[in-house]
Amino acid sequence: QKEVEQDPGPLSVPEGAIVSLNCTYSNSAFQYFMWYRQYSRKGPELLMYTYSSGNKEDGRFTAQVDKSSKYISLFIRDSQPSDSATYLCARYSGAGSYQLTFGKGTKLSVIP
């Protein structure tokens, strides 16, 4: 079983829609979870991180962690064409090198 599972999509939505992106993880010891956004031919950039359980909101973006179900979600409200990118969920390996373990990424297209 992979440590972080993510549906690669692709996902296509009309402009203005609410987008829900999801990941599952296998190790309950994880504390920090991150969402990275990657535009074509660019490197991943950190969008949001969350710690433990609960929600974190930043503008149109909300990150949610449900430890009981081992589920990580990213919601995008009022989606824009500029949100079209690949979204990667990730977590740290833990203490030490803090290497990132990524999901495969979900490719999102927001259609004007």
Partner 1 sequence: EAGVTQFPSHSVIEKGQTVTLRCDPISGHDNLYWYRRVMGKEIKFLLHFVKESKQDESGMPNNRFLAERTGGTYSTLKVQPAELEDSGVYFCASRQGLRDTDTQYFGPGTRLTVL
Binding site for partner 1 (CB under 8 A): 2, 4, 6, 31-32, 36, 41-46, 49, 51, 88, 92-93, 96-105
The nearest distance, CB 90 to partner 1, in angstroms, is 8
Q: Which is nearer to partner 1, 4 or 110 (CB)?
A: 4
Q: Which is nearer to partner 1, 46 or 111 (CB)?
A: 46
Q: Measured in whole angstroms, how far is the alpha carbon of residue 74 from the centre of its chain? A: 5
The nearest distance, CB 69 to partner 1, in angstroms, is 21
The nearest distance, CB 42 to partner 1, in angstroms, is 5
Q: Which is nearer to partner 1, 90 or 110 (CB)?
A: 90
